[in-house]
Structure 1
């Protein structure tokens, strides 16, 4: 079952040539998305050009057990696509004067060990802190799930860094978990409430939230699955799924269209704040290919400049691609463990460039 798409006829109407009918853009996109269609874990696809959704479509199922189809309002766990919202929360607090990006992280989280003395908020945002990965020091068996505060408690036992702050890059979920706690300390609100009050509600992202089990409910929720033999097994949560700052937000392509619109002007973040988010502060593991800003990967330059981020966690694989100078955005959210959708999203984007 598929939802209706908003597709301008000037872009997606079938063309004729020499009496034959060529495949339309809509048909080519559907063909590329065929693996997500039918009675299988699905996907939601958004393509925005010059501020207008030209593709807004669901494929497959959000809930296999109940046979619920994916629609444009289905909410997927964003995984690391969440990091751009964590970064935006910090930038809003910097705009407010509630914190500085140059603040030592121990100003806000003084229980961190002495090894963290040189780490600033900027280092956390840009993955240049050198913090130990909390996943590497978790107990082999834990009851329930870790939360951001548990990440802090784990790091309190690690009086060491991988490298001196600012001297190298290493992607750090630990850093973004700590940023969620910094948001709470600097704002006087918990992280989920700050996001709701300062980002989601002002932008009309009414169904987007940092999910807290037992506290909040995800409306129209997609559940995550992994291939198992000839079928699928629900693999929706892991022991780290409750850590919010690095990947705990749920959203839909409808709400992410509103987020994309807000990134085009100063309705939420100032020009200066967006420039900071979209500037490469460090090279990444993909040397000479990608840089990293604040919650965004940066690729290329000039008219081909791409801002992007993926999100991978058990049961979900997502990606957002934005070409600001071309006015083009592609968002692809999926509720299955494999494959990563980056290459597919790039192929879809090529249909609209």
Structure 2
């Protein structure tokens, strides 16, 4: 078994090999694309769905290097920012319940925020147009342990400014989604993790998905995060911000994400009006390959997608609703970015093989 380095070169080599290979079964071509995730290295799980049916459902490499535990379809990875679509769904559910309005000032729910946040609305938090400062830049060097969503609020209470007038521009904001998790708690009367479990995960049968809190719950079939440095894989599973739930704290598997994907096509979870809001352009972005952002989703023409990147994890989910096609790549390593890989996997299933 091998340990490889130089992620960009590996990714380019894998994509080039797949592009020049003769026509073959797509699953075999995916295996070729994923070969650097296979063996005694941090691995990945890949899911390709069409019309809700898995065309490919496969694990590669290891979920736990130290224990030698293989990665499989049931392995749960820290989703990082893919979490944001669940946070957005929680807010939309509460709007359907009449518990809140998307145009509520955030200070209706979190009144301790400073005056600079007076004009910020929940809709702006969802679309990253609030202008709130990035909490990660203001964590005290001597902060003990890990931050929680409530700690993000305390940091922002001391920052009486915004990057721009709320609603006037786009800037991707983890701060906004941490605050949305707190709003879910205030509006529902339940903590964020419990609300997700009761209103999203359990109804959809996502039985092993959890907004993870150390000492409160456990992650079944857990993948541990790793980083490659000096030719060796080192466990780097948690950082000071890994316990913030609203912007990135959910663990899930490709099997459970298949259930989530199915719920985005009908009204089993959200009403059609809420789904339309989630996937409608809410704002242009400043990202060159992302024309618009919705609520928890990047929107690019006929596709909706999101990446999730945190210490030791790199993930992507890409949906082509018009084709009823979805590709998910979850990995427990610090690189490479899986979004280009997900697009290449999708190409194998979108383009018909030549006669």
Q: TM-score, normalised by structure 1?
A: 0.92
The superposition leaves residues 110-154 of structure 1 with CA deviations (integer Å, 9 ceiling, x where unpaired) of 000011000000000000000010001111232100000000000
Measure the CA separation in 2 of the matches of 1:193 and 1:208: 12
Alpha-carbon distance, 1:27 to partner: 1.0
Q: Where in structure 2 are the equivalents of 1:15-54 lying within 5 Å?
A: 23-54=24-55
Task: Tell me the residue number matched to 2:334.
Answer: 337
Q: 1:312 aligns with which of 273, 296, 309?
A: 309
Q: Is the 8 A contact 2:290 2:298 kept in 1?
A: no
Measure the CA separation in 1 of the matches of 2:250 and 2:279: 21
Measure the CA separation in 1 of the matches of 2:159 and 2:231: 43
Measure the CA separation in 1 of the matches of 2:99 and 2:191: 15
The superposition leaves residues 296-348 of structure 1 with CA deviations (integer Å, 9 ceiling, x where unpaired) of 00001xxxx10000000000000000000011000000000011101111000
Measure the CA separation in 1 of the matches of 2:289 and 2:82: 22
Task: Tell me the residue number matched to 2:6.
Answer: none
Measure the CA separation in 1 of the matches of 2:259 and 2:231: 38
Task: Tell me the residue number matched to 2:345.
Answer: 348
The superposition leaves residues 156-203 of structure 1 with CA deviations (integer Å, 9 ceiling, x where unpaired) of 001100011110000000000000000000000000000000000000
Measure the CA separation in 2 of the matches of 1:99 and 1:105: 10
- The 1:154/1:273 distance shift into structure 2, 3 A limit, reads same
Task: Tell me the residue number matched to 1:321.
Answer: 318
- List gaps (5 residues or longer) in structure 1: 2-20
- The 1:39/1:288 distance shift into structure 2, 3 A limit, reads closer
Measure the CA separation in 2 of the matches of 1:219 and 1:336: 19
SS, match of residue 201 in structure 1: helix
- The 1:289/1:211 distance shift into structure 2, 3 A limit, reads closer
Aligned residue pairs total 330
Q: Is the 8 A contact 2:210 2:250 kept in 1?
A: yes
Alpha-carbon distance, 1:289 to partner: 4.3
Q: Where in structure 2 are the equivalents of 1:245-324 lying within 5 Å?
A: 245-286=246-287, 289-300=290-301, 305-324=302-321
Task: Tell me the residue number matched to 2:226.
Answer: 225
Measure the CA separation in 2 of the matches of 1:147 and 1:188: 18
Measure the CA separation in 1 of the matches of 2:290 and 2:235: 35
- The 1:289/1:86 distance shift into structure 2, 3 A limit, reads closer
Measure the CA separation in 2 of the matches of 1:227 and 1:283: 35
Task: Tell me the residue number matched to 2:236.
Answer: 235
Measure the CA separation in 2 of the matches of 1:233 and 1:288: 32
Measure the CA separation in 1 of the matches of 2:288 and 2:111: 34
Measure the CA separation in 1 of the matches of 2:269 and 2:186: 21
- List gaps (5 residues or longer) in structure 2: 2-21, 351-355
Q: Which moved more, 1:313-322 or 1:223-232?
A: 223-232
Q: TM-score, normalised by structure 2?
A: 0.92
Measure the CA separation in 2 of the matches of 1:115 and 1:27: 54
Measure the CA separation in 2 of the matches of 1:25 and 1:207: 29
Measure the CA separation in 1 of the matches of 2:173 and 2:231: 35
Alpha-carbon distance, 1:287 to partner: 5.2
Measure the CA separation in 2 of the matches of 1:285 and 1:33: 31
The superposition leaves residues 71-124 of structure 1 with CA deviations (integer Å, 9 ceiling, x where unpaired) of 100000000000000000000000000000000000000000011000000000
Alpha-carbon distance, 1:230 to partner: 2.2
Q: What root-mean-square deviation, in Å, do the aligned CA atoms of Structure 1 and Structure 2 show?
A: 1.2
- The 1:289/1:216 distance shift into structure 2, 3 A limit, reads closer
The superposition leaves residues 28-50 of structure 1 with CA deviations (integer Å, 9 ceiling, x where unpaired) of 11000101000000000000011
- The 1:110/1:226 distance shift into structure 2, 3 A limit, reads same
- The 1:71/1:275 distance shift into structure 2, 3 A limit, reads same
Measure the CA separation in 2 of the matches of 1:200 and 1:346: 27
SS, match of residue 287 in structure 2: coil
Alpha-carbon distance, 1:229 to partner: 1.7
